[in-house]
Chains A and B, each alone.
Chain A
Amino acid sequence: MNAVRRRARRCLAWLRRLVAGAYLRWRRSIQVRVVTSTLCISAIVVAILGAFLTQQMSNALMDSKIKAARLQLDEGLSTVARQLGNQPDNGSRLDNVMAGLKARSGPSGLYEVYIRDTRDSSFDGYSTNELRVESIPQRLRDELRRAPADATAYTFGKLSYVGRPSERGLIVGGKAGQFELYYLFPLTQDQHTLTVVSQALVGVGAVLVLLLAAIASLVTRQVVIPVRLAAQGAQRLAEGKLEERMRVRGEDDLARLARSFNEMAANLQDKIVELEELSQVQRQFVSDVSHELRTPLTTIRIAADMLYEHRDTFDDPMVGRSAELLQSQLERFESLLADLLEISRHDAGAATLDAESLDMRDLVLRAVGDIQNLAEHKGSKVLLQLPGEPCMAEVDRRRVERIMRNLLVNAVEHGEGEDIVVSVAADRDAVAVAVRDHGVGLRPGEGQMVFDRFWRADPARARTTGGTGLGLSISREDAQLHGGWLQAWGEPGSGSQFRLSLPRTAGAELRGSPLPLVPPGAGGRPLYAELEAGE
């Protein structure tokens, strides 16, 4: 019982899979759809056509049969009239006529005959061979009785026999004086003809439908294959393989499609190359400008230094003040120029990783030590959460230190004097450093924008202190150079957290970070931006 149920269930599941698979193929493939609909429509058309043809043939067969039958009946009636009309009735004259009429009847013949003398009540006439008189339907007899003297009538019915199965037949009847004469034609042969023809029609129809399906399959294949190739080409193009082109064959619509596709791809490639070249030129320009500015800047710097050293010697205190101003802005200019050079190096792909195995805790401690003064100046306290064991990773010391310094300076600057928490964590593959401040935080969407070049949280705020506006951009480039992530989280009023995650071995792929981006205990709706390297 269970086995049966299991088998039924398995069968059902298999059926469902089959249907689902078929449906999927139907959804996915134009060819399957076209072939299926061709099959259905042509099957319907062929069926209708076949039915019509068979009907026509049956009608034609029956028409000729009826015509022949009526001729036969007319001949028989005239024989009856001739032979019975002028013979004395001695009881056997009907017998003699019947003997003449029966000649072509019987199993090997064409028809059966039934004749009846309406005035002789002692018997009901004669029939040939095994024919039963019930074969003549009452409706035909009635019709003939009502009809005028020389009328004939016909109908279709079932011929029944003594000792053998009945068969369909055509029954014609007529009157000659007092005699009724019926000819009964079995339609077995015609039925056989029709069966043979309809069998042939079914066969031909099936072949025709299959042929149409095959043609449809072939035609759609011719259309679908170039479309599939185009789809593949477009996909490759989308993947950035701009050299991808379709093969152009012939001059038909599909060739035109391929040609347009190729033109589109070529134009795209041209435009992209052009844009790339343009940005290359711009980067080069920035780099060149930075370089070119250095030399005059050095000179200006020397001059400014001199002026600054002798600021007390100027009579006018205003001049002294100007020298101080010049000095500070020059420093800013220098660091801006250095940052510009750095970022243009990144843009040009000229930045290289100088990796060595280091303990991240040392790096963090040094960076915190560097900004300790600034933090104290701002009134912030830097808290460290460092793990007990070393967090070794292959990193570029200079770049990581720069990232740390950037993050810490930002935290101090935007920390509003609150505590700054620096956490370090490591797992098997990665190390992470998170810098948390409790300042103004970030508004929604700003988590991403902080890494944009020259982005400012408050445009109205004067750029007086610290950053050049490129620090975080460079830091993100540095993190990405390691194959790591630099991500920001922030919430207005709750402060923000920046997390640096780096793989332990340089260039390895980073799958996750040992530290959460959203600090634990950060209440409310966490609003964060997650930026992954290479995204």
Chain B
Amino acid sequence: MRCTRGVVAAVLLAVALTGCASVPSGGRVVTGRPAEPAEQVDDPYVRLIPVSPRPEWSPTQLVAGFLAASASFDDGHKVAREYLTGAASSWNPGPRPPVAVFADRPRLEIVAQTATQATVKASGSRLGSIGADGQYTADPKAAEVTFDVVKTAQGPWRIAGLPGDPNNGLILTKSDVDRAFRTVNLYFFAPDGGTLVPNGIFLPLVNRQNLPGQLVRALLAGPTSWLGPAVDSAFPRGTRLRGLRIEDDTAVVDLSVEARSGDVDRMSAQLSWTLRQLSEITRWKLEIAGDTATPHRYGSVQPVRAWDGNAPDGPAVPDQPAYVLGSSGRLSRLAGDQPQPVLPQAAQVVRPAVSGDYKEVAGLSPAGDRVLLRDLAGNSGFRTVLKRHGAGTRFTAPSFDRSGALWTVETGKERSWLWVRPRGGPAFRVSDWGLSGREVVAFRLARDGVRAAVIVKADGRAQLRLGRIVRDQGSSGLEAGAFLAVSSELVDAIDLAWRDYGTLAVLGRKGNDTRVLPYLIPVGGGAISSLGVGALGVPKTIAAAPGAPVLIGTKDEGPGQVCRQRAPHDLISEWICPVPGSDPMYPR
């Protein structure tokens, strides 16, 4: 009896074991969350593999090989240096060299050759340059450089003289730059002292493991020449990175002793925001000369997502309400898809703007020749705060900054002025305005108050440009300038809004398209992406805010409509236009 039971048990066990050894063919459904949105720096990258010069190569082949090899940052350009001899041997581009960016591989031709010497001319179209600080400056022009090539005593040709222009620099093609460089943001403080301003730079991706150290070194080196005058860095001059090591997912940033005189909180905020671009770091610790430095607000190990109070977009506002001009022309607040009028009578303004503290509302007269303002509460009615000064000019849509000052640009054909009206004071013209000779279609100040995005007519095209506001002493010493092109892909932009500190929502045409569509454009210069699908009518204005749906005011035949995406956080979600009204905007 016992024996029988044993046999049965053994058979059952064997059946169970064979069951274990196969993959499951059914079972319950297991759900999971999608992976963290990968940062751009985590994308796989491609490295060029250089070759050492071959003895049989001609001078042109040698120069071609050198130009290709200089695109490889491996081992500090070790292979590229094998091409050099004599005076050129001291060439050392280092980890962040200046770069001349060419559209294509330069054409090479020998302009002079003797038995032992040759001069090779490389010519091509230059797109621009990247400075040693990582700032890209577009500067399209035809360029040519020459290389002096000599025959060495051992036989093969070597480069003895490099072109003086990219002194210790590189000559790379656009595809080389796309491959070997990453655009990253460094964060510096705006003059108001609390808000961080991103500073996009091109950083050579020498290898992924060194990237955190490179990033911190770039941050310590300070802002680029473009943003430099407008921002402050909390790091005392001369601060160096002694070492950066990553243990588990905690990075330890060890700064040199000079950092002792700096403000630990402000340095931590800058480092936190800079390091959060790297997915492998979730927490980090600041050390100064080997001693742990603890900020007041967090423990010694700070989460990389800390310091939200210093966010470039300002403190996060959940469920920011949108305002539209309702179908009857009354300023209304959007509750769901329903406009709720907030002003008792119809406003006589277009392009309204509500200040961030919901106290004031501004707008343009329908002709665009006056800027009107009133308190949001009460019955005082609109009053004119700014009249046009030039003939035939008009104002762009006004916007408030965080302090409540109103910004707008008065613009005519090939001329413009920037006007600022501080709260309660008279409006004044900014004396140092970098686009005074151009027509400005739209002007929007970023939420950090330092950067400004404009749509400017240049060379007959509406270009998207990014500039910076330098505030010297007081409010009168303002300078708005250094407007650099953001993207050349978009033509005929008509309106823009800051979606967040790194992205612009722009209405414009791309390439050969005939229709104006909304696009999201990273200000650091990356690929633009179109927003949503489906019919939109004729878009006129766009409004965006961090974490809020992008709204588009359209006008076709008949009354205007305000459109949003059906699923606001889905990039390709369909557009729907359920709100009667026009000129949507978010308060700021």
Contact = CB atoms under 8 A, between A and B. Distances in A.
A129 B41 CA distance: 12
Nearest to A130: B207
Contact of A109 (B44, B46, B50, B207): B44
Nearest to B68: A123
B208 A130 contact: yes
B104 A105 contact: no
B124 to A, nearest CB: 11
A126 B51 contact: no
B47 interface: yes
Given A90-B104, A130-B207, A130-B208, A124 B49 contact: yes
Interface of B: 42-51, 54, 57, 61, 64-65, 67-69, 71-72, 74-75, 104-105, 173, 175, 179, 207-210
A164 interface: yes
Contact of A102 (B42, B45, B48): B45
Nearest to A107: B208
B42 A108 contact: yes
Interface string A80-104: 0000000000111001001100111
B243 to A, nearest CB: 15
B61 A122 contact: yes
A123 B46 contact: no
Contacts of A126: 46-49, 179
Contact of A125 (B44, B49, B54, B207): B49
Nearest to B56: A121
B226 to A, nearest CB: 28
Contacts of A114: 49
B47 A121 contact: no
A128 interface: yes
Interface of chain A: mostly helix, strand, loop or mixed = mixed
Q: Which 3 A-B pairs have the closest CB atoms?
A: A106-B44, A123-B68, A163-B209
Nearest to A112: B44
Given A122-B61, A122-B65, A162-B74, A129 B47 contact: yes
Nearest to A90: B104
Contacts of B42: 106, 108
Given A92-B104, A98-B46, A128-B47, 9 more contacts: A104-B44, A105-B44, A122-B64, A123-B68, A127-B46, A127-B49, A129-B44, A129-B46, A163-B209
A75 B401 CA distance: 54
Nearest to A114: B49
A201 to B, nearest CB: 14
Contact of B179 (A90, A95, A103, A163): A95
B68 A122 contact: yes
A163 B179 CA distance: 19
Interface string A38-57: 00000000000000000000
A102 B50 contact: no
Nearest to B64: A122
A291 to B, nearest CB: 69
A200 to B, nearest CB: 12
Contacts of B104: 90-92
A222 to B, nearest CB: 14
A104 B38 CA distance: 13
Interface in A145-168: 162-164
A95 B44 contact: no
Contact of A128 (B45, B51, B61, B69): B45
Contacts of B208: 107, 129-130, 163
A133 interface: yes
Interface in A455-482: none
B49 A102 contact: no
Nearest to A91: B105
Given A109-B44, A130-B207, A121 B49 contact: no
A121 B51 contact: yes
Nearest to A131: B47
